[in-house]
Amino acid sequence: MEQILRTIGIYAFLMLAFRICGKRTLKDITVFDFVLLLVLSESVQQALTSDDFSLINAWVIIATFLFLDVMMSLAKRKFRFLDRLMDGEPVIIVRAGIPLEERMAKERIDMDEVLEAARQNGLESLDQIKYAVLERNGSISIIPAGD
């Protein structure tokens, strides 16, 4: 029981911590972010296993994480506010070719990233963008302006 509670505590803390850190994608990860994740996983591993290195303990921990994740996805589907609370909402950062500076600043997105996403969609200037949306997973979606 203690093991399950400990795992739930770490799941909740990690969820809160990553929510606070904002939207980031793995494709944008820096070397330092990567090292940070490794260090983080090592410290979490020690807190999770404690002195119990049995196989069954590893199964209990894995099962708890997966079960929490499934239950959380079901709960988010049922309660929209939970979905918004956990994963945030998409944010429009460019509208009709005009960058929304405050939103970009608060989300720590710079113009280079928007233009990079535009280039990946075959666009070469801001004028050609109808909407640029910072998605919940941290990627930027581009809706091209119509002719």
1 vs 21 by CB, closer to another protein: 1
What are the tokens at 14? 């990690």
Q: What does DSSP say about strands 91-95 and 140-144: parallel, antiparallel, or unpaired?
A: unpaired
Residue 13's nearest CA partner among 53, 68, 60 is 68
Report how far residue 131's alpha carbon sits from residue 22's, in angstroms, rounded to the nearest whole number: 21
Position 53 contacts another protein (CB under 8 A): yes
Q: Which of 46-54, 98-106, 119-127, 135-143 is the region at the interface with another protein (rule: CB under 8 A)?
A: 46-54
What are the tokens at 38? 């490794």
Position 54 contacts another protein (CB under 8 A): yes
Position 70 contacts another protein (CB under 8 A): yes
Report how far residue 34's alpha carbon sits from residue 40's, in angstroms, rounded to the nearest whole number: 10
* Binds another protein (CB under 8 A): choice among 66, 96, 98, 105: 66
Binding residues vs another protein (CB under 8 A): 1-4, 51-57, 59-60, 63-64, 66-67, 70
